[in-house]
Amino acid sequence: MNYTIEYFHPRVQAEIESWPDGILADYARMVELLMDFGPNLRMPHSRAMGGGLFELWPRGREGIGRVFYCFVVSQRVVILHAFVKKTQDTREQELRIARKRMKELQND
């Protein structure tokens, strides 16, 4: 059962494509796993954030990325928000952006 990957907005995809090579390579590997396993992909690759929001943790020698995503009908995964972490904690503002975008999808 394969899932398709979509991006909430072209800017989200552009942000990810601008990441350092190591983090981007790990992201590409994780997306392949996500397409294969869908909601069955779990730790250490993916973590549920509650309310239907999930997080990927791509890593490279350059640092750690964070990718928030959700599942929508017809085997679709929507990448909502992505950034490279600068601090240990995931900032609440980043979570708010992802949750707001997920809500916009649900209201369409």
Q: pLDDT per residue over 32-74, tens digit each?
A: 999 999 999 999 899 999 999 999 999 999 999 999 999 988 8
- State the pLDDT confidence band at 86, using cuts at 50, 70 and 90: confident
d(CA 102, CA 33): 22
| Domain coordinates in residue numbering, the chain | 4-107
Structure tokens at 59: 């890593």
Share of the chain above pLDDT 70, in %: 94
**Per-residue pLDDT for 106 more than 90?**
no
Beta-bridge partners for 4? 76
The model carries a pTM of 0.91
- Closest by Cα among 72, 73, 37 to 56: 37
End-to-end CA distance of the chain: 25
CATH architecture of the domain covering 4-107: 2-Layer Sandwich (3.30)
Structure tokens at 27: 């992201």
Question: What stretch of H or E contains 11?
Answer: helix 10-17
